[in-house]
Chain A
């Protein structure tokens, strides 16, 4: 059974810092990996999707990498801002699973002004 782990559960950094959020998964037979952002009391917003054949994806100040063989992904946020404060969830889509996602519990990020 696929398990997705995100550690630590919470992170606090000063504004302007570059930071890395980690995600690990147990089954490397994945179709893709997705990073989502969730603001308090809101739904999830997709940030980046990395196909299993890709190594990384970039969008603005965000860069996500994927290492299938080691079961790891990282989300890099450059020059963090207070507006980046949110919970970041990682989810994997297992091959042959009808596009179902398995989620980690998320990392709650706080960026201090």
Chain B
């Protein structure tokens, strides 16, 4: 079965600094990968996803993630964060297989951006 590891439970960073949120997965078959963002007391919103094609995917608000098959990683990066990026970020994986598949979520990383 697949699993997702987000090693950092919390990442503090100053405004306008770069940030990387780490995500590693384990799976014996090909995967689809996702990053979701959750603002306080709200549901999760899709930030970006990798299904196929280019291994570098971008979101509309400046985040990007790169699928690295050899390292089984899908780290999320932003070159310059804003206060408004403060939120919890979840990495998720599903597998390319027949039949119904579920998303498996990591435990989340809380990004804290301070001025």
Asked if chains A and B come from one complex, the reply is no
A residues lining the B interface (CB < 8 Å)? none
B residues lining the A interface (CB < 8 Å)? none
